[in-house]
Structure 1
Amino acid sequence: MALLFSKVAQYVQDWRQRSSLLNEPDATAIPQSWHQFDQQQTDWISITPSKPANLSGTGNDNKETESEITDRANTIPLTLMTWNVDAMADYPERRMLEVLSAFRNQSPQPNILFFQEVPKSALASILGHSWIRNDWYSSERDATQWSGQQFATITLLSKQTFNHHGDDLSKARIGQIWRVKYPSRFGRDALCCHMFVPPLGVRVRLVNVHLDSLPIQPSLRPRQLAIIANMLHAAGRGVVAGDFNPVLPGDDDLVSANRLVDVWTELHQTEGFTWGIDGQQPFPPARLDKFAMVGLKATAIDIIHPGVLSNPGEGDKDQDLKDGLVPGVPWSDHSGLRCSFSLVNVL
């Protein structure tokens, strides 16, 4: 009987948590864990973030003005980089390492990383990298949450900017993390999380997406982005970034139709192509990758074009091919995007 009551209590707790994260009839929130690498166990272990002591999702419960609170919160720089790393191309492990090196050498260095289309072999490269193990929290420790998919999304948060316990007001706090299973022809989902920005723990919702591919009708992308936009508006502040796959007429209007700000068009007048720029694709260049926001202010956005794998010019050619050290192989068919942003006044 005690076991039965325990299971019922756990079910109610899970239901309440999912209900608080999502209110859509055709989508489900699946909570998961954050992870950090444990040097003693030499493995990624689950962690449970604690709520900020001064949690204040949107309110102002002290004597500071809204502008003063926002100014203090914005002393923490927030830079997010997103990249679809191309699960289908050869040498996924080597290409993934090159992308990580490119991220590490950015200035300012990003403190939030979104990856899409990560195959299991590239996931192993990410989780085995010493920089990632030492300096980052990971949404994944393996492919358990991928529902049998061969590739999926992963989100990483920098330990230099974020923590998961204590009251260090010099750092933002990581919060819940969950996947939203929504209508998809390819079994895709949205990887969502909360961060809380001091001093009052203002909540920001982050969503990492790889919307459905291909010009298939009827398209499910409008419904997918509508679900995500509703989640962002419910939170009051948030950003969705990743591969939006706008390949049908009208897809480029989905961001504005859902009352989100398209950061690239807000800050630039150019096309901002992130795919097809090498001329080797059967379709014309396109801006497949995007940032869209609500309640945040983007201060900069840049495109990071992929390099190519280089041949060291020595050693056995067959071994070079085996190691992925071949000239002319791009890191990805997509370019990456880097965006810096700040809070607007507390609502």
Structure 2
Amino acid sequence: MVSKAMLHSLLQKQLSYSPEPGPLHTFRDATWRPSSTPVLPDPIAPAVAPLNSLHLLTWNIDFMASRPRERMASALRYLEQLVADIPSSSAVVIFLQEIMESENVGEQDANDLSQIANAPWIQQKFNVTDIGSGEWDSPYGQVALVDRRLAVARVSRLRFVSEYQRVALFVDVCLCSSSSGDAKYLRLCNVHLDSSYGTMRPVQWKALAKHLQSGAEGVAASILAGDCNANQPRDRTEPQDNGFKDAYLELGRGEGDEEGATWGFQSLSWERWGRQRLDKEVFWGDVRVRKLDRMGVGVQVEDEAARSEIKSLGELPFVTDHYGLMGDFEVQDGLRTVTSD
């Protein structure tokens, strides 16, 4: 048990942390090229119409499950089909958690980032924050796939005071300029908060509020999505207590409704936490949620041999133990776009 004095000290330590800049990778000339500079509109090129709609997908892919390559292959095929059905009038961003890239080359070793980087549909449609694990402190991490049409000002990571070496991954998307001419951003945040009983989760939420609701950094609005590990009574109100709106509740749904749960259906150990809404999408500022759906429901490994082996090990053949979420948001100020190359 952590004392109140210790929690206060840890909070002060957490609030002293600043986001650390990172690259965004674009697939060009048959290879992924990193850039630490903003992906901004060409001032000479004709103006490109902004986008006012954003589909934000989030999904935790269980890093401990066997046959990780077949699981990720099936996950990516499912996501490809899902993205193909999203209207082109909406931008698309995909957040993934518990992604692994093993240094080993055996068929039982995860190579999630390589599979992501080699997927033609991702090369064509998205910029990617991570194609290697060099930015991670943990054996597994988060990655964001960002619609290539979006003007991105910066990518950064905020390290958490954490028992699990967790971080928040920020992607600042340019909004159409205000009448004053000041630059404004929609900060998108991919999170994987501490697991288990999560003593540090309240500290992590306060840090997120500081960095996702900060006009001083040009952040006019923000959307956070990911595995919030919300398994304790206090977790039900952490977003609201810290100034966020919970997309699920904003749509008139009730806390504790089983149809909102994202975990407990595809895990043999589900009784530990029950069927819980571990994954969330929350927001702040001039954005509005129009729709929020679960995704990844019942998606299984497609490779028959791998599926058979998974069952023989006493595991379930689902791609992952989490359902994902797909939120449809209206962005009031409009998302700035760039010409595709």
Same fold (TM over 0.5): yes
* Aligned mate of 1:258, from 233, 238, 242: 242
Task: Compute the displacement of 1:236 (Å).
Answer: 2.9
In structure 2, the residue corresponding to 1:45 is in which secondary structure? Answer: strand
Q: Which residue of 1 aligns with 2:23?
A: 33
* Aligned mate of 1:282, from 271, 276, 289: 271
Q: 1:82 to 1:118 in 2, by over 3 A?
A: same
Deviations 1:142-185 (A, max 9, x none): 111012x21000011122x32xxxxxxxxxx1111110012001
Report if the CA contact (8 A) 1:26-1:183 is conserved: no
* Aligned counterparts of 1:273 and 1:319: Cα–Cα separation in 2: 25
Q: Which residue of 1 aligns with 2:54?
A: 78
**Structure 1: where are the runs of 5+ without partners?**
1-22, 55-71, 163-172
Report if the CA contact (8 A) 1:44-1:141 is conserved: no
In structure 2, the residue corresponding to 1:153 is in which secondary structure? Answer: strand
Report if the CA contact (8 A) 1:311-1:327 is conserved: no
Report if the CA contact (8 A) 1:36-1:47 is conserved: no
TM-score (norm 1): 0.74
Task: Compute the displacement of 1:37 (Å).
Answer: 2.1
Report if the CA contact (8 A) 2:187-2:222 is conserved: yes
Q: Which residue of 2 aligns with 1:179?
A: 157
Q: 1:36 to 1:318 in 2, by over 3 A?
A: closer
Q: Which residue of 2 aligns with 1:17?
A: none
Q: Which residue of 1 aligns with 2:291?
A: 300
> After the TM superposition, which of the residue ranges 134-143 and 268-277 deviates more from structure 2?
268-277
Alpha carbon RMSD of aligned pairs, Å?
2.8
Letter in 2 for 1:205: R
Q: Which residue of 2 aligns with 1:119?
A: 100
In structure 2, the residue corresponding to 1:101 is in which secondary structure? Answer: helix
Report if the CA contact (8 A) 2:14-2:160 is conserved: no
Letter in 1 for 2:124: N
Task: Compute the displacement of 1:320 (Å).
Answer: 7.3
Aligned length: 285
* Aligned counterparts of 1:82 and 1:53: Cα–Cα separation in 2: 30
Q: Which residue of 1 aligns with 2:205?
A: 225
Task: Compute the displacement of 1:130 (Å).
Answer: 1.7
* Aligned counterparts of 2:239 and 2:294: Cα–Cα separation in 1: 19
Map 1:83-232; keep pairs closer than 5 Å.
83-106=59-82, 107-108=85-86, 111-120=92-101, 121-147=111-137, 149-159=138-148, 161-162=149-150, 173-198=151-176, 202-216=184-198, 219-232=199-212
Task: Compute the displacement of 1:47 (Å).
Answer: 5.4
In structure 2, the residue corresponding to 1:140 is in which secondary structure? Answer: coil
> After the TM superposition, which of the residue ranges 25-34 and 243-252 deviates more from structure 2?
25-34
Report if the CA contact (8 A) 1:306-1:336 is conserved: no
* Aligned counterparts of 2:22 and 2:320: Cα–Cα separation in 1: 28
Q: Which residue of 1 aligns with 2:221?
A: 237
Letter in 1 for 2:194: D
Q: Which residue of 2 aligns with 1:267?
A: 251
Letter in 1 for 2:153: G
Q: 1:202 to 1:117 in 2, by over 3 A?
A: same
* Aligned counterparts of 1:246 and 1:327: Cα–Cα separation in 2: 24
Q: Which residue of 2 aligns with 1:340?
A: 328
* Aligned mate of 1:331, from 319, 334, 341: 319
Report if the CA contact (8 A) 1:96-1:125 is conserved: yes
Task: Compute the displacement of 1:318 (Å).
Answer: 8.3
Letter in 2 for 1:294: W
* Aligned counterparts of 1:318 and 1:143: Cα–Cα separation in 2: 26
Deviations 1:76-126 (A, max 9, x none): 421010000111111222212222222221221661010011111212211
Task: Compute the displacement of 1:198 (Å).
Answer: 3.4
* Aligned counterparts of 1:319 and 1:264: Cα–Cα separation in 2: 33
**Structure 2: where are the runs of 5+ without partners?**
1-12, 44-48, 102-110, 335-341
Task: Compute the displacement of 1:331 (Å).
Answer: 0.7
